[in-house]
Amino acid sequence: MFVDSLVAGAYLVPTLIAGVLSMVFDPSWPTGVRLALAALAGASLFLRRQHPQTVFIIAMVFLVADVLLAHDIDFIPALIALYALAVYRSARAAWIGFAVFSLATAGVISLSVILVQTTRFDPLDSTPTPSIIFLVLVALFWVLIGNNVGGRRRYLLALIDRAQQLARERDQQAVIAAVAERSRIAREMHDIVSHSLTVMITLADGSAGLATSSPDRASDAMRLVAETGRSALDDMRRLLGVLRATEGDGAVREPQPGVGELGELVERFRAAGLPVRITVAGTPPTDTGQQLTIFRVVQEALTNALRYAALASVVEVTIQFTAQSITITVDDDAALHGAPGQGSGRGLLGLSERVGLYGGTLVAGPRSTGGWRLRAVFETIASRTIPPPIQERP
């Protein structure tokens, strides 16, 4: 604001003083019109940053009128407007303005020469041709300086905008990461709680039924309930310990379950009364993420079978490992399944997200021959070969 006021005042004050003195000593309507246009052009310089095109148009109108009315060439507002176009708009706008300035200057000066020859018109104080060349060169100088300053200004603005954009992207990535982490923790908590509680409820129901007829078997079932509860509690402590890692509570870090823990998982379901038969073919992947996905798919499928297919005579788990894909199929032959409303449906949704991370699909539904099938297929991640260390030559 201060610089704009200084530029406008530096031109406007002496121009108005000279115009007023001219009106006092030699009053005429051309002098009055020229004074009004000079005041308008000088005042418009205050807005050269916000509206450089408008300022340039006013300056050009004033330049042409000054030649025709006052037989003089006041090109200062036009040069300032050209500079403003280059700095606050673009180099393209500045070069267009330079072309308009050059054509208008050459045209109005040439017109004044013609008017001198044909009508009563006072000639300019300077020679036309040198005046045109001089004005064009001066305008070119101002445009080049303006383009240089404007280029630096636009470059800094682009850097600032890029930095702000990166900051916004960083914040968005942080939000996305937080949502993804909450979703992962929710899936893990669902797998732990849903599986453990289903097994514990089934064992507790069986223990209640055997309490009078077979106390020993009921006691064994209750011991399995306690073991399952302790295992679930340990899993939850391990998962929550990751969230409290900064508290220094000494939470035990254990590896996530994988293919090696499937045997223990199956035995737990067998103890709960679910007739599980498992078949594994091929070499399991070494990626821990895929191992955890395999474990969770089998765990969720058996949990659903225990919850909805209690009358099944056999639950067949088939896992096929190949170099390209992993296929997990869990079939049961229960003719009657429990009501779907017993669960929240988040388990299968979480499994679909897990399998989708590896470009796979998960399908669950009734079989044409009776019973229920859950089938998951996803790509195998190739094991990475660690290159041998580089031996230094002696």
User: What's residue 383's pLDDT?
Assistant: 57
The four Cα atoms 337, 338, 339, 344 give a dihedral, to 10 degrees, of -110
User: What's residue 322's pLDDT?
Assistant: 92
Shared domain check, 147 and 269: no
* Helix/strand/coil for 384: coil
The order of strands in the sheet holding 325-332 is 276-281, 315-321, 325-332, 372-379, 361-366
Residues pairing with 329 in the sheet: 318, 375
User: What's residue 345's pLDDT?
Assistant: 59
Strand runs (DSSP E) across the chain, as ranges? 276-281, 315-321, 325-332, 361-366, 372-379
User: What's residue 247's pLDDT?
Assistant: 47
The first and second tokens of residue 125, run together, are 């104080």
* Residue at 189 is within a domain: no
* Residue at 363 is within a domain: yes
* Residue at 221 is within a domain: no
Shared domain check, 150 and 27: yes
Shared domain check, 11 and 146: yes
Shared domain check, 143 and 277: no
* Residue at 335 is within a domain: yes
Q: Which of 139, 166, 193 is the last residue of a domain?
A: 166
Contacting residues for 109 by C-beta, under 8 A, at least 6 apart: 67, 73, 124, 128, 131, 132
Shared domain check, 265 and 161: no
Q: Which of 107, 134, 166 is the last residue of a domain?
A: 166
* Residue at 178 is within a domain: no
* Residue at 182 is within a domain: no
Residue ranges making up the domain that contains 272: 259-382
* Residue at 48 is within a domain: yes
Looking at the 3D structure of the chain, how many domains does it have? 2
User: What's residue 339's pLDDT?
Assistant: 56
What whole-number distance in Å separates Cα of residue 21 and Cα of residue 39? 14
Total-model pTM: 0.45
164-205 pLDDT per residue, tens: 888 888 888 877 776 776 676 667 776 666 677 777 777 777
277-316 pLDDT per residue, tens: 999 999 998 888 888 889 889 988 888 888 888 788 899 9
CATH number at residue 306: 3.30.565.10
Shared domain check, 153 and 16: yes
Shared domain check, 144 and 23: yes
Shared domain check, 285 and 154: no
Residue closest to 100 by CA, chosen among 66, 67, 69, 143:
143
What whole-number distance in Å separates Cα of residue 121 and Cα of residue 128? 14
Shared domain check, 156 and 55: yes
Concatenate the DSSP letters of all residues of 293-351 into one string. Answer: HHHHHHHHHHHHHHHH-TT-S-EEEEEEE-SSEEEEEEEE--SS---GGGS-SHHHHHH
Shared domain check, 157 and 11: yes
Q: Which of 166, 184, 202 is the last residue of a domain?
A: 166
End-to-end CA gap in the chain: 71
Return the H-helix or E-strand segment holding 152. Answer: helix 128-210
Which residues of the chain have a pLDDT value below 70?
Answer: 70, 116-130, 178, 181-182, 184-186, 190-194, 210, 235-255, 338-346, 382-394
User: What's residue 392's pLDDT?
Assistant: 45
Residues pairing with 321 in the sheet: 326
